[in-house]
Amino acid sequence: MARNRLKDAAVKIGSAAGKVDATAHRAALKAAKAAHVAKQELNDLSKQVDALKKQLSKSTKRLRSALK
């Protein structure tokens, strides 16, 4: 009788541990995906900033030559 209770308790503990592990794994995957998306957005913004810098440099050159 005591063995059955211990076995049942062990099964419940193992089941709970498995559920926690699965939940943690899903959360880690979600975090990794969010980080990947954020990295892509940051790269896109960086490219846009570089393009704006280039455009500003060209405009500055044109303005300086026009003011001469």
Per-residue pLDDT of the chain (68 residues; tens, 9 = 90+): 678 888 989 999 999 999 999 999 999 999 999 999 999 999 999 999 999 999 999 999 999 999 98
User: Which residue matches tokens 């076995």?
Assistant: 7
CA 47 vs CA 42, 54, 56, 68: distances in Å: 9, 11, 14, 32
pTM of the predicted model as reported, rounded to 2 decimal places = 0.62
pLDDT for 9 equals 92
pLDDT for 68 equals 81
User: Which residue matches tokens 């957005």?
Assistant: 41
Please name the residue ranges forming H helices in the chain. 2-67
Say whether 68 sits in a helix, a strand or coil.
Answer: coil
Q: What is the DSSP letter of 1?
A: -
